[in-house]
């Protein structure tokens, strides 16, 4: 409900502390690889917040948000990578996507996800040759 801006703020005391924030994502990938879509890719979602990447601010204006279930810095499941490997080519076929980055790259002062547990090098290698650019990262020795 959080990613659709329909969370009932009265259900839990913590929810009251985040009441009113705008949070949504186009996609959510569960640890088992299950893919959920909350917002049409043709519509703006509120996944990035205050952000700046490659000389542009307000990343929500022209990005597609994909959230991964897990904790920032933790590792991600092979099924999550497979879901990304299925989703990203479909998106790049439909939309002119030039860059793939994480919250840690677009809002580093506020967010640290997906963090060091996410294998950017594996994802980039598994997707193969592409005009899409990735953030500069330290390569992991072995893929997940």
Q: What positions carry a catalytic annotation? A: 67
Question: Distance of CA 90 to CAs 24, 85, 86, 107, 142, Å?
Answer: 21, 9, 7, 26, 26
Rounded Cα gap, residues 52 and 59, in angstroms: 6
Q: How many CB atoms lie within 10 A of CB 115?
A: 17
**Residue 83 burial by Cβ neighbours in a 10 Å radius (0-12, 13-18, 19+):** buried
**Residue 20 burial by Cβ neighbours in a 10 Å radius (0-12, 13-18, 19+):** exposed
- Local structure of 99: helix, strand or coil: strand
């Amino acid at each position: 409900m959080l990613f659709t801006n329909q969370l009932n703020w009265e259900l839990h005391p913590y929810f009251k502390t985040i009441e009113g924030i705008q949070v949504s994502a186009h996609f959510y990938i569960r640890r088992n690889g299950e893919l959920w879509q909350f917002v049409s890719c043709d519509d703006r979602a509120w996944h990035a917040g205050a952000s700046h990447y490659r000389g542009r601010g307000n990343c929500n204006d022209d990005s597609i948000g994909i959230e991964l279930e897990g904790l920032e810095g933790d590792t991600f499941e092979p099924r999550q990578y497979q879901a990304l490997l299925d989703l990203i080519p479909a998106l790049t076929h439909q939309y002119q996507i030039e860059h793939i980055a994480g919250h840690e790259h677009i809002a580093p002062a506020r967010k640290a996800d997906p963090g060091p547990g996410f294998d950017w090098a594996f994802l980039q290698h598994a997707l193969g040759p592409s005009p899409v650019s990735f953030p500069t990262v330290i390569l992991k020795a072995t893929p997940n």
